[in-house]
Amino acid sequence: MTSWRGVAALLLVAAVAGCGNAVDVGPGAGATALVVDDAGHLSVVTEVCRDEVDTIEIVRDREGLSETEDNPLVARYRSADPQTGRVTLSLDEPGPGWRPGTPTRLERGTGYIVTASGSGKDGKEAAPVYVSGDALSTMTPGGFYAGYEEDGSLTRHSDAEFRKLAERACAD
């Protein structure tokens, strides 16, 4: 009889713990992509269709990390004013309003996760981008490169396709 009580107690604990993990996060703030210009300068572009963003963060991927280690922070940019619509941050020249104003160079052979989010109480995150350093070298001007594939590959989108991607992210 004791063993059944133990099993029942474990099942109850598992059921309650599972319920605690069900969090409704709602739709995101939009979608994030990487773009490169004719001179090879890399920018982060976020199409914000819900809320606003004021933080763009770049972290290293999980390669070589234990389960308990955080992804190493590469750069965190903050805007003095929350941004809406199309938000562009040049990684070579962050521009006025973004702090710090120092450039960030992404290295070949290294994976990165790029996110854009609001820092307020209800700040939402736009769909992130995961990119391998090798995929960076395949980017060509005129495309919006987005994706979160396990291998770090990116999908090239036209401007209109990227806007639709953001709309879908906001509707989910």
Residues 6 or more apart whose CB falls under 8 angstroms from that of 25 comprise none
pLDDT tens for each residue of 95-137: 888 999 889 999 888 999 999 998 876 778 889 999 988 888 8
Which pLDDT value is given to residue 162?
A: 94
Say what the pTM is: 0.80
Which pLDDT value is given to residue 91?
A: 95
Q: What is the mean pLDDT of residues 157-169?
A: 92
Question: What's 105's DSSP letter?
Answer: -
Q: What is the C-alpha separation between 139 and 69, in angstroms, rounded? A: 30
92 has pLDDT over 90 = yes
pLDDT tens for each residue of 4-55: 343 333 333 333 344 433 444 457 888 999 999 999 999 999 999 878 899 9
Helices (H), the chain: 2-20, 133-136, 159-171
Q: What is the C-alpha separation between 121 and 106, in angstroms, rounded? A: 30
Q: Which has more confidence, 96 or 160?
A: 160
List the Cα angle 148/152/156 in 5-degree steps.
70
Which pLDDT value is given to residue 26?
A: 58
89 has pLDDT over 50 = yes
Whether residue 52 contacts residue 84, with contact meaning beta carbons closer than 8 Å, is answered with yes
* Spatial CA neighbour of 35 closest among 74, 82, 88: 88
Which pLDDT value is given to residue 72?
A: 95
Fold classification of 28-171 (topology level)? Immunoglobulin-like (2.60.40)
Coil, helix or strand at residue 82: strand
First to last CA, the chain: 47
Q: What is the C-alpha separation between 60 and 154, in angstroms, rounded? A: 16
